Amino acid sequence: MRRWVSAEGHEVDSVVIEGRRLLRVRHLGYHVGFCATVEEVAVHVDLADLVEVVDLRRAGRPHARR
């Protein structure tokens, strides 16, 4: 799952609700809204401030040997 955060405490992640993929926006842990488009997310947070969170435990995992 992908997740983006800002230094101001915004968090955006992708969720599926009733079979529909939406972007959930939170600020300091509080629910702000569900957005269908990136343009809707931009109403709540400056997109340029968002950085993707990378799970290094998963990214650095060696491939299984056969």
Q: Where are the domains of the chain?
A: 3-50
pLDDT for res 65: 56
Instruction: State whether residue 58 is helix, strand or coil.
Output: helix
pLDDT for res 57: 80
pLDDT for res 59: 62
DSSP letter for 47, please.
G
pLDDT for res 20: 96
Residue corresponding to tokens 């079979």: 19
CA angle, corner 29, sides to 28 and 30, nearest 5?
95
CB atoms inside a 10 Å sphere around CB 64: 5
Q: Whole-angstrom Cα distance, residue 41 to residue 43?
A: 5
Mean pLDDT, the chain cut into blocks of 10 residues (66 residues total): 92 96 96 96 96 81 58
